[in-house]
């Protein structure tokens, strides 16, 4: 029962897309795979039979070719404004909560246990669970309330890949800085880095790779080029997502785009290194 976690140096680094690609890559290799995100904030849900989860995990499940269930995203927050969200637990509407109540009274008790229950169920059913983090693990003001990044990786005994968006700039600094701000026990879980959304000749990054290795003793295991795929976006600070209809035509289109995405990632990522991590 293996696991792998993808975390990011920031929101929008490409975690969701990379998880989708890896789900398809390992499904193609014959693994029974499932995606997992313990906590996701989104106003765009996949509505199943009696449950709702973030559509990002539903799309990742299409990549994994697994059943879409509430366990893939056991906690979903639908923001209402003024730091208040509707909280959904294992696909069911629970109640409205202010951020203070949610973080200080809920996540470290009920929240963590709900997330772990779903994760362990997925582990029992699948060969490999690919976890997605949220935001950045180095948001040190929130670290003790964070059940989506390093605490979950620790509980899952999962190796972590840290992905950074180089198109935004400052990618090398964000990688080294993120790692430096983590507790020592969490630094050990990070096994490598992925540079995402790169434009140009990858050879010019070589000095940066060496510096990162010198500073962290860990390697960059892949550089994913900037590419556009016709996949639904998550809503975020930078993107205004669109609603989609879950009909056969759209599902077929998503499946084809996932195939193209997975081929791009496979050719630019050291998959053998990842397989060694999850052994």
Which burial class, exposed, middle or buried, applies to 39 when counting CB atoms under 10 A from its CB (0-12, 13-18, 19+)? buried
What mean pLDDT comes out for the span 68-90?
96
Asked if the model's pLDDT at residue 108 lies above 90, the reply is no
Least confident of 6-10, 38-42, 237-241, 245-249: 237-241
What mean pLDDT comes out for the span 174-195?
97
CA-CA distance, 279 to 274, in Å (whole number)?
A: 9
What mean pLDDT comes out for the span 120-125?
97
CB atoms within 10 A of CB 256: 12
CA-CA distance, 254 to 4, in Å (whole number)?
A: 23
Q: How sure is the predictor about 231, in pLDDT bands with cuts at 50, 70 and 90? A: confident
Buried b (16+ CB within 10 A) or exposed e, 204-225: ebeeebeebeeebebebbbbbe
Dump the DSSP string for 109-140.
IIIHHHHHHHHHHHHHH-SEEEEE--S-TT-T
Asked if the model's pLDDT at residue 226 lies above 70, the reply is yes
More confident of the two residues 244 and 220:
220
Q: Which two tokens stand for residue 9?
A: 């140096």
CA-CA distance, 5 to 181, in Å (whole number)?
A: 18
Confirm if 68 and 46 have CB atoms less than 8 A apart: yes
β-strands 84-89, 45-47 pairing: unpaired
What is the C-alpha R_g of the chain?
Answer: 18
What mean pLDDT comes out for the span 209-227?
97
Asked if the model's pLDDT at residue 3 lies above 50, the reply is yes
Q: How sure is the predictor about 237, in pLDDT bands with cuts at 50, 70 and 90? A: very low
- The angle subtended at Cα 102 by Cα 61 and Cα 148, nearest 5°, is 35
| pLDDT given for residue 239 in this prediction | 54
| pLDDT given for residue 245 in this prediction | 86
What mean pLDDT comes out for the span 56-79?
97
DSSP state of 31: -
| pLDDT given for residue 228 in this prediction | 87
Which pTM does this prediction carry?
0.95
CA-CA distance, 161 to 194, in Å (whole number)?
A: 7
| Span 2-277 CATH architecture | 3-Layer(aba) Sandwich (3.40)
Which burial class, exposed, middle or buried, applies to 244 when counting CB atoms under 10 A from its CB (0-12, 13-18, 19+)? middle
Q: What is the 3-state secondary structure (H, E, C) of 172-218?
A: HHHHHHHHHHCCHHHHCCEEEEEEEEECCCHHHHHHHHHHHHHHHCC
Q: How sure is the predictor about 140, in pLDDT bands with cuts at 50, 70 and 90? A: confident
Q: Where are the domains of the chain?
A: 2-277
What's the residue count for the chain? 279
Range ranked top by mean pLDDT from 80-84, 109-113, 220-224: 220-224
Residues whose CB falls within 8 Å of the CB of residue 30, separated by 6 or more in sequence, listed in order: none
Phi–psi pair at 30, nearest 5 degrees = 100, 5
Confirm if 50 and 132 have CB atoms less than 8 A apart: no
Asked if the model's pLDDT at residue 143 lies above 90, the reply is no
What mean pLDDT comes out for the span 34-45?
94
What mean pLDDT comes out for the span 249-253?
92
| pLDDT given for residue 235 in this prediction | 56
What mean pLDDT comes out for the span 78-98?
95
């Amino acid at each position: 029962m293996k696991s792998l976690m993808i975390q990011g140096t920031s929101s929008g680094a490409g975690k969701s897309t990379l998880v989708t690609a890896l789900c398809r890559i390992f499904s193609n290799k014959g693994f029974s795979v499932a995606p997992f995100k313990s906590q996701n904030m989104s106003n765009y849900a996949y509505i199943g039979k009696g449950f709702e989860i973030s559509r990002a995990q539903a799309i990742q499940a299409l990549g994994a070719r697994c059943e879409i269930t509430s366990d893939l995203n056991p906690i979903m927050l639908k923001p209402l404004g003024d730091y208040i969200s509707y909280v959904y637990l294992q696909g069911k509407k629970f109640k409205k909560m202010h951020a203070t109540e949610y973080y200080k009274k809920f996540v470290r008790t009920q929240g963590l246990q709900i997330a772990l229950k779903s994760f362990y169920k997925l582990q029992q059913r699948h060969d490999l669970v690919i976890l997605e983090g949220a935001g950045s693990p180095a948001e040190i003001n929130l670290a003790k309330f964070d059940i989506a990044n390093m605490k979950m990786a620790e509980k899952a005994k999962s190796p972590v890949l840290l992905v950074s968006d180089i198109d935004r700039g400052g990618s090398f600094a964000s990688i080294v800085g993120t790692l430096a701000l983590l507790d020592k026990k969490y630094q050990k879980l990070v096994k490598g880095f992925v540079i995402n959304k790169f434009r140009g000749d990858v050879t010019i990054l070589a000095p940066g790779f060496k510096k990162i290795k010198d500073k962290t003793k860990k390697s960059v295991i892949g550089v994913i080029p900037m590419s556009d795929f016709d996949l639904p976006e998550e809503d975020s600070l930078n993107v205004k997502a669109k609603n989609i209809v879950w009909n056969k035509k759209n599902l077929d289109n998503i499946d084809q785009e996932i195939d193209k995405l997975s081929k791009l990632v496979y050719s630019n990522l050291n998959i053998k290194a990842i397989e060694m991590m999850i052994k």
